[in-house]
Amino acid sequence: MKHRIFSLILALSLSLSLLCVNAFAELPKGYWPLLSAYNTAIESGNEADVMAKGDAYLAFLAKFERNEDIAHNFYNVYLWRLEHEVYEKNNDWDGAIKNTKALLEVSQYLQSLGIDRADMITRCQTHLAALEPFYGIYAASYTQSNTYGSKIAAPSGTFYGTPIDGSYSNGSIVSVYVELESQSADAFDYLIAPKADGKRVILINLNFKGEGATARAIPSGAYDASLQKTFNYLAKLKSPVLVRIGAEFNVWTSTVTPADFIAAYNHVASLARSLAPNAELVWSPNYSSSWGVNLADFYPNNALVDWIGMSLYYNYTNPGGDSIMWQEFTHSGRFADPINSAAEVVAVARAKGKPVVATESGVHRAYGESFASVKAAKEFSTVTMAYPEVKALVYFDKSFNGNDYTLTGAVKTAVGEAIHANPTLIASGEKSAATYIPIQKLNEAMTGTLVLGATGRTYHSSDMSATWVLDGKTTATTGSPNQLRVDLNTLGEGNHKLEVTLSDNAGYTVPAKVYTLSYIGGNVKITEGYTAAPAPAANVAYASTQSVSLDNKPITLTAYALKDAAGNQTNYVRLRDIAQLLNGTSAQFNVMWSPESGIGIASRSAYANPNGTEGKLPFSGNQTYQKFTGATLVDGQASGLDAFTITYDGSGHTFYQLRHLGKALGFNVGWSAERGMFIETNMPYTDAN
């Protein structure tokens, strides 16, 4: 773990801007009155006047063919507006983006003339990345299957854990640090062996303590003996293994050229391929580079890279004292956030088609327990939402060189809650979980709970809140992951209108997004825009298999449902199916039939004459029904039970309203958010359910 290295001299030079635009030798005739008026406005400090006079001067210069001197004048006008955040503080994002792009373009022009503007180009690119709002609305899917070419990554879901001696040492991934110059992995067998049981991934952080000096020595074979011991040991492990090679090369104190690092990485990776073919290899920069360093320049032989790794630390260093430019580039102050910090490395992974592992991450507790709790929880709740390529997360959970990243107290509590609520995290011993996908791509069979989420950030805020409106019912969520959990058991079949509005609570609101949430025949589909549900078809019974608790034991109940005009459904079941399920309980009953008296029910009697059709239907899917008008006697008396008949292949199958059966025969039928649908045979029916 290492913080990024920057040049303070460079930072100071970038924070200074000219207060007025200077004249140059090759400016067009007539420039001076406009330039003089602009400089006078700057000296007055009247921002509105500066903008008006600046616009007039820019319009004048735009009439002429560009040269170096005209470009310098454009440059200084745009720079003043950037330095003073003229557009940004007024939430004029189009203006801010237009001005920054103009400054970037003129800087690139001056650079092409041999005038050094490389730092300003970097600054503009960084500022544009901060200006562009980022947001997304997602749904948890259980049908995804993308390992990005890895044999270790789960087809759906994300491994999570800590160092092997950390809080989540029993997580689905654990990490171990090995210093190449003085250690080999076998020295840590006492830690690794108990965890290498095939139930979790082992991440080996093969660090170069000497950084650039070590990298330059590797191709000569200086460390081959140690590497061979490590890879021979790893080849014998039962668990899948990831090997992170020479991490954070883009911020090393002892710097290395891209060519030297690539040679070192390829040398180590080639040995790993030959000696430990079970291991997958991780190319792992820091989340962003030192100034003037492009991490993509360090990318090695693609065939020797299985995963893209990243160190994902974020901090809140002196937000009042650092310039906005500095905070933007270092992802500190109000820009400190795991989603912001991960963007650059994930972009490389997307370009290469590789899965991502956050090899180590954390929030410095020195910046406050509240800040650390929010940001650590956001990593475990939201990184996998914004970036489904992140297939493994490792939180550092250590105090190192006076830097406290431990998971204790309120931070650990917040992280635990985030893990519990995140459907995409894979528990130890499990093989997969959900994957968040863009909400409009969801289309799959689903039962239980539909999980939706949203995240976003703007220039003024690293998070966004959401307002969800489902069928007119509003739910407000106050920050990532902005989860909305929809109980499908109570949703009702048909089309439902879903509206989502995101706001950064600092003046920026994403216009409401409108979707159709369709839940028909157990399938959930979400599409953009709203289409009202068609009127229920006449005499249609809808297939409605239910997961039910029968005296606290889970069962599956074959049912059909009728819908009212609002789409609300009522479940109906066959007598013989229920008679068999309740047989032997205090609510058991027998079923009889005769041509003379029709269907008869004997309450409190054993089900004595099963016919083999119980729990079996010769048809499936929605069916046409007819209202049952025949007699149903309960203990010899007319019952008036509500029922309908589905005729299939010449035979009639009669279904009775489940609640009516409970009321007539003395067992309770109910529903609760915690239990779902339940039947209690030792409890009388109550209308409260």
Q: What is the per-residue pLDDT for 22?
A: 56
Asked if residue 486 has pLDDT above 50, the reply is yes
The pLDDT-based confidence of 683 (bands split at 50, 70, 90) is confident
Q: What are phi and psi of 130, to 5 degrees?
A: -75, -35
Which structure tokens are listed for 687? Answer: 């209308």
Query: What's domain 158-423's architecture?
Result: Alpha-Beta Barrel (3.20)
Q: What is the mean pLDDT of the chain?
A: 91
Grouping H, G, I as helix, E, B as strand and the rest as coil, residue 239 is coil
Q: What is the per-residue pLDDT for 18?
A: 42
Q: What is the per-residue pLDDT for 568?
A: 81
Contact 112, 68 (CB under 8 A): no
Asked if residue 8 has pLDDT above 70, the reply is no
The pLDDT-based confidence of 370 (bands split at 50, 70, 90) is very high
Cα–Cα dist 226/218, whole Å: 11
Which amino acid appears at position 476 of this protein? A
Q: What are phi and psi of 418, to 5 degrees?
A: -65, -40
Q: What is the per-residue pLDDT for 674?
A: 78
Q: What is the per-residue pLDDT for 10?
A: 39
Q: Which CATH class is domain 438-528?
A: mainly beta
Would residue 365 be called left, alpha or beta, if left means φ above 0 and alpha means ψ between -120 and 50 degrees? alpha
Q: What is the per-residue pLDDT for 261?
A: 98
Q: What is the per-residue pLDDT for 269?
A: 98
Mean pLDDT check: name the lowest of 19-33, 160-174, 454-468, 529-543: 19-33
Asked if residue 270 has pLDDT above 60, the reply is yes
Report CA-CA distances (Å) from 672 to 287, 398, 599: 46, 43, 32
Q: Where are the domains of the chain?
A: 8-132, 158-423, 438-528, 540-680
Q: What is the per-residue pLDDT for 98?
A: 97
Mean pLDDT check: name the lowest of 145-149, 204-208, 487-491: 487-491
Beta strand 668-672 with 399-400 is unpaired
398 against 19, higher pLDDT? 398
Which segment, 167-181, 323-337, 608-622, 673-687, is predicted with the most confidence on average? 167-181
Q: Which residues contact 434 (CB under 8 A, 6 or more apart)?
A: 140, 141, 142, 144, 156, 157, 423, 424, 451
Q: Which residues contact 297 (CB under 8 A, 6 or more apart)?
A: 258
Q: What is the per-residue pLDDT for 21?
A: 54
- The model's pTM: 0.75
Asked if residue 318 has pLDDT above 70, the reply is no
Tens digit of each residue's pLDDT (9 = 90 or more) over 217-245 = 999 999 999 999 999 999 999 999 999 99
